[in-house]
Amino acid sequence: MSVLVQEQAFEVREQYEQVLSNSPGAALVAFTGYVRDICDYGVVEALELEHYPGMTEKVLDDIGMAAAQRFSLLGWRIVHRFGVLQEGEPIVWVGVAAAHRGEAFAGCQFIMDTLKTRAPFWKKEHLKEGGAIWVASKEQDEQREREWRDSTL
Amino acid sequence: MLKVRFFSLIREALDCEELNLEFTTETVTIDDVKRRLSAQGGVDWQDVLMQPNVVHALNHRVVDSSQALSDGDEIAFFPPMTGG
C-alpha cells in the first residue's frame, strides 16, 4: 500500500518483491511501462517527465486506495519516475496482490488506466533529429478511464 | 494571497512557473483569476488560459473553474495529463 514518486531509476524486481513480501495474496499482477523508442514524430532520444509535487503523491494514493476498495486488493504499490529518462528505461510500475487473479488483473488495469489521465504528469519527447514535443492526451485513454467510471466491475 | 502555479505547455507558453495574486473580492472563483491574469498579462495570457482544455486544480484537487476560492489557496493551471 504505497506510492513512490522519484527521479532516480528503480529496479523492477525490487518493487515486485516489495509487494510479494508485504501481501499474503495468492495472485500478484504487475505492469511496467518503458520509454518507447519511436513516437509519432520520429525516433525518441529521451523522455522528460514533469509533475506537480504534492498533488502527484496525493492523487496516486487516492487511486491506489480506490482500487484496493473496489477490487478487494490485499496489497498495492505504484512507482512513477519524473525528470529525464532514456529510451528503454522503466517509467512506471504498478503491482497489486489479491486473493484471486480476476481482482488482481482488474485492479492493476484500473490503476494504470486511471493514473494516465488523473495523475499530474506531463511527457515531453526529445527527438534524435532535434527538437522536443509535449505529448498530447489521447481520446483512447480518456475513454478507458470513463469506462471504469461507468463499469460495475 | 493566492498562489498560482503553471505546469507543462502552459508554463512554457506563459514563461512563468508561479506567481502570487492578492486575494480580493474580485477573485472569488478560478474563472475570476483567469480573467484577472488575462487582463494583467494581455492577449498572450488570455489565449493560453482561455483554451477549453485547460485543467484547474485547487489545493491539489482537480476542480471546475467556477469553484469558489479562499485566502491562502493554491491554484494550478495545466494541460490534460499524460502520465504512465
User: Which CATH number do you get for residue B57?
Assistant: 3.10.20.30
Count of domains observed in chain B: 1
B60 vs A contacts (CB less than 8 Å)? 52, 54-55, 58-59
Question: Can you list the domains of chain A with their CATH numbers?
Answer: 2-150 (3.90.1170.40)
Does B84 reside within a domain? no
Rounded Cα distance between A146 and A108, Å, is: 16
Is A130's pLDDT higher than 80?
Answer: yes
Size of chain A, expressed as the number of residues it contains: 153
Residue B18: give the domain boundaries. 2-78
Closest-CA distance, B80 to chain A, in angstroms, reads 6
If we measure between CA atoms, which residue out of A90, A95, A55 comes closest to residue A78? A95
Could you report the per-residue pLDDT of A32-79, keeping only the tens digit for each?
Answer: 999 988 888 889 999 999 999 999 999 999 999 999 999 999 999 999
Does B83 reside within a domain? no
For residue A79, the cross-strand partners are A4, A93
Closest-CA distance, B72 to chain A, in angstroms, reads 16
Contact assignment for A122 to B7 by CB distance below 8 Å: yes
Is A153's pLDDT higher than 90?
Answer: no
